[in-house]
């Protein structure tokens, strides 16, 4: 089932515009992630698709049918919530068939489907327990099972993993993704967590203050961010954004380092460098004192004072015998550089020329 959002606009009664012209198409069987900071409008889009809130303008189509003015129950979708939304007085089984009962589905069919989904989410042995006796992960599985049992082909998920601890979150990420691919579900997934967006999504929409910043596959958003906001959102540690000046075929960094760089643009630019797009070398053009160092075991995060607005963040895959205050030198890998214009829009990628000091 595909979902089409056409020119969706939503304004609150107090005049605040929370969605400004949202357009996208979610394909059948796609894992579609809506990501953004809080207040970006990602949950509002989900609520609009579900039909919880009326929109001011635009149309919503599910499977080619205009559902803009239909109540939630007629949109044939299911939902998984951040805080699980389980009834504390019902058992796992009763919670799962909650909707089937409300819709007066045949009793035998209810049981059949219940047993099926219980197996799918590995909860058969817990079916008579109450939610209070389950762990967070198990509760979320119940919530997932309840969504699956309805046979809806579209499942909306609103930050389903936010209440879980880090280890469980990683586990559930894989589990949900595997389930979605196995059952061919269309999932619209809301999260504020860039890792979830990157690791789970087929397609990711990054929102900022009610506007779409970029839509695309996770790696496209990472490698070719449409603007500095997108560049800064993905990646940890965050991308380095250095001020620079393009003059003919030379690119000058704010700290005075110059490289040859051919581009039709001239004037002030911002240069995006991912922390891992560097090479440590004693002859490096960039050098400075270490202000902060984080040994991670499988690598090291370093902040270096290079004379720019803020320390430069590096991420290397070696364990280093270095301490705060030590001098360090490195080069930027030119083929992974990004260039943004004065309006923060992406204008150039990669190396046009060799690094030459």
Residues lying near another protein in the complex (CB under 8 A) are found at 47, 50-52, 71-75, 77-79, 81-85, 87-90, 98-99, 102-103, 150
Instruction: Give least dist CB 26 to another protein, A.
Output: 18
| Cβ distance to another protein smaller for residue 69 or 324 | 69
* Angle subtended at Cα 193 by Cα 343 and Cα 316, rounded to the nearest 5 degrees: 75
Which tokens sit at 226?
């449409």
| Cβ distance to another protein smaller for residue 90 or 355 | 90
**What is the distance of C-alpha 251 from the center of its chain?**
32
Question: What is the C-alpha to C-alpha distance for residues 203 and 188, in angstroms, rounded to an integer?
Answer: 10
Instruction: Give least dist CB 194 to another protein, A.
Output: 24
- Are the beta carbons of 349 and 339 closer than 8 angstroms? yes
| Cβ distance to another protein smaller for residue 75 or 315 | 75
Q: Half-sphere exposure of 176 toward its Cβ, with a 13 Å CA cutoff?
A: 34
| Cβ distance to another protein smaller for residue 15 or 71 | 71
Q: Where are the alpha helices (DSSP H) in 69-193?
A: 92-96, 98-102, 107-120, 136-149, 166-183
| Cβ distance to another protein smaller for residue 146 or 313 | 146
Instruction: Give least dist CB 254 to another protein, A.
Output: 45
DSSP string, 11-23: E-TTS-EEEEEEE
- Are the beta carbons of 36 and 42 closer than 8 angstroms? yes
Per DSSP bridges, beta strands 186-191 and 31-36 are parallel
Instruction: Give least dist CB 71 to another protein, A.
Output: 7
Which tokens sit at 170?
């990683």
Which tokens sit at 230?
């997108």
Question: What is the C-alpha to C-alpha distance for residues 107 and 255, in angstroms, rounded to an integer?
Answer: 73
| Cβ distance to another protein smaller for residue 79 or 308 | 79
| Cβ distance to another protein smaller for residue 73 or 122 | 73
Instruction: Give least dist CB 82 to another protein, A.
Output: 8
| Cβ distance to another protein smaller for residue 71 or 297 | 71
Instruction: Give least dist CB 43 to another protein, A.
Output: 11
Question: What is the C-alpha to C-alpha distance for residues 102 and 110, in angstroms, rounded to an integer?
Answer: 11
Distances (CA, A) of 62 to 5, 19, 50, 287: 9, 19, 10, 55
- Are the beta carbons of 333 and 278 closer than 8 angstroms? yes
Instruction: Give least dist CB 93 to another protein, A.
Output: 15
| Cβ distance to another protein smaller for residue 8 or 49 | 49
Beta pairing partners, 208: 211
**What is the distance of C-alpha 200 from the center of its chain?**
8
Instruction: Give least dist CB 99 to another protein, A.
Output: 4
Q: Half-sphere exposure of 307 toward its Cβ, with a 13 Å CA cutoff?
A: 10
Instruction: Give least dist CB 89 to another protein, A.
Output: 4
């Amino acid at each position: 089932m595909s979902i089409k959002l056409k020119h969706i606009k939503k304004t609150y009664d107090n005049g605040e515009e929370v969605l400004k012209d949202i357009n996208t198409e979610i394909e059948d069987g796609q894992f579609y992630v809506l990501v953004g900071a809080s207040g970006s409008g990602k949950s509002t889009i989900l609520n609009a698709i579900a039909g919880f809130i009326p929109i001011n303008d635009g149309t919503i189509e599910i499977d080619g049918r205009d559902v803009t003015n239909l109540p939630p129950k007629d949109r044939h979708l299911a939902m998984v919530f951040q805080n699980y939304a389980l009834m504390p007085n019902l058992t796992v089984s009763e919670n799962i068939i909650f909707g089937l009962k409300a819709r007066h589905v045949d009793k035998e069919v209810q049981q059949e489907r219940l047993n099926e989904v219980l197996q799918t989410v590995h909860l058969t042995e817990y079916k008579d327990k109450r939610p209070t006796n389950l762990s967070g992960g198990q509760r979320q599985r119940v919530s997932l099972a309840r969504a699956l049992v309805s046979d809806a082909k579209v499942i909306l998920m609103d930050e389903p993993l936010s209440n879980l601890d880090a280890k469980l979150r990683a586990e559930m990420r894989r589990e949900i993704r595997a389930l979605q691919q196995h059952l061919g579900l269309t999932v619209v997934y809301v999260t504020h967590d860039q890792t979830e967006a990157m690791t789970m999504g087929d397609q990711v929409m990054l929102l900022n203050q009610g506007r779409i910043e970029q839509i695309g596959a996770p790696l496209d958003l990472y490698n070719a961010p449409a603007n500095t906001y997108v560049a800064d959102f993905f990646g940890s540690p965050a991308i380095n954004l250095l001020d620079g000046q393009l003059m003919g075929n030379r690119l000058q960094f704010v700290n005075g380092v110059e490289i040859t760089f051919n581009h039709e643009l001239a004037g002030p630019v911002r240069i995006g460098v991912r922390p891992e797009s560097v090479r440590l070398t004693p002859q490096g053009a960039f050098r400075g004192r270490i202000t902060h160092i984080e040994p991670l075991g499988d690598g090291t995060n370093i902040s270096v004072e290079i004379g720019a607005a803020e320390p430069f963040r590096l991420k290397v895959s070696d364990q280093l015998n270095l301490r705060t205050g030590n001098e360090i030198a490195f080069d930027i890998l030119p083929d992974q550089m990004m260039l943004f214009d004065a309006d923060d829009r992406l204008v150039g990628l990669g190396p046009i020329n060799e690094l030459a000091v």
